[in-house]
Amino acid sequence: MKEKTNSDNKDEEPIEIEKIIELKKNDNSDDIAINSETDCKFSSTTSTTDIDLNVKSFGKAKLQSPLSNIENLELKKTYYIRDSKDRIRFDTLVNINKEPDTVSFEKAGPRSKIYYAPSRTKAGIITCGGLCPGLNDVIRSIVKELEIWYKVKKVWGFRFGYQGLAQNPEHPPIILSPEEVDDIHKRGGTVLGSSRGNPPVEEMIQSLEDKGINILFCIGGDGTLKGAHALAEEIEKRKLKISIIGIPKTIDNDIPFVEKSFGFQTAVEEASKALNRVHVEATCTPHGIGIVKLMGREAGFITAYATRSSGNVDFCLIPEMNLNFAENGGLYDEVKKVLQAKGHAVIAVSEGAGQNIIGVQNGTDDSGNTKFNDIGLYLRDDLGTHFADKWDMKVNIKYISPSYQIRSVPANSQDSIFCADLARFAVDAGMAGKTDMLIGHWKGEFTNIPLSAITNIKRRMRNDHRGWLSVLASTGQPPEWW
């Protein structure tokens, strides 16, 4: 499997890298492999290598694309496709013995040899951080995979995140059996409960030893995975044999080297419903403005994707943008233009957007995150005041903040499938004796990624990527806002 730099990678959401990673380009990246490991087989009398995959064209294109006239966006290197060079590799699987310089991830999946003896293995599961669609699906699939396929009979569920690993916790751990978890996937939330923050690492390791845990599955986002890495490092120092396996859960979808985290697709679906509903409200009142505040502290993926899904949004505001509200050419001026043109406007805003304007609070939450002021409420109040004071114009603002409703719904069908796959690959890794890692998803393949690899790397939207350009095409907002 081959990783590309941001400038080469056109089909995956980019990441911003806060430390230098040197990537070597594979000269044979355009070759078509015969032994492709996709999730389907091709039934044909023709060999794969004999199939002509070159697309016909009427001739050389000579006219300059009008997309090049968009101000403040450099599309030449990052967006335009070069017919003679840019191809999608047929097979993503890499043999590193034959291609040693190719940057690649370890492929997830079952190994022919395992490290832990099933009859003596005890596993533990924790869910941490905010709620997210699919948590129960992951718990259920871990338990079923362990018992049905690997014949592991003892699975502990630690209650309320890392707090459940404290010595003498307020909520003792529970035994999870296939019967106990059989229908939990039909419910939102997590049957184990969740929390932020954690006890001292030494205390948590002692709890794992007391219970005889061999594998701990840590389901959570950035903070949870940092905690999992700290656990694994201390376990290694003590020369203990306890595997730490992370399963990425963040509704913000901002974990590096993970194209999508579970629950994201469901969240986008629910968020787009909220946008469509506020659009109805805005259209049914004079000078109606609908505002929906969505999740996304530092990354705007869910707001951007929901905007694209809805198709009813006029302004998409995300944390990556350096926003201007009341100044000339800013948001308020553009909202006025939209109101004059069609009588209503809809704004989708990430919770972390606009902090350069409204500032942040003092202190941090239990996960160590900076406390943000409420951008949704700020826009609701300030927008109306601005229109009244500057233009003597009354606007009717309808504001929705559906974050908790979105987080607490059950996973949709696609997310349920994805959750089950993540869980199974996590069990495969744990039983094989892997540790200090998480299950990733890259170019359609499940991968094993060292937890150390995601340190100091943040996945963010980029203004010259096709995903954001799709937002601009949908909303019509000024591209120079960034």
Catalytic residues: 252
Q: Which residue has the tokens 């951008």?
A: 375
Q: How does strand 445-450 pair with strand 396-400?
A: unpaired
22 Cβ contact partners less than 8 Å away, ≥ 6 residues apart: none
State how far the Cα of 322 lies from the Cα of 71, in Å rounded to an integer: 17
Burial code of 104-142, b = ≥16 C-beta within 10 A, e = fewer?
Answer: bbeebeeeeeebbeeeebbbbbbbbbbbbbbbbbbbbbb
**Residue 266 in contact with residue 415, Cβ under 8 Å?**
yes
DSSP 217-244: EEEESHHHHHHHHHHHHHHHHTT---EE
Which whole-number Å values give the CA distances from 466 to 12, 81, 140, 303, 304, in the listed order? Answer: 9, 11, 36, 15, 12
Of 177, 161, 11, 33, which Cα lies nearest the Cα of 86?
A: 11
First-to-last alpha carbon distance for the chain, in angstroms, is 33
Q: Which residue has the tokens 């209503």?
A: 344
**Residue 301 in contact with residue 461, Cβ under 8 Å?**
yes
In the chain, helix, strand, coil percent, each to 5? 35, 15, 50
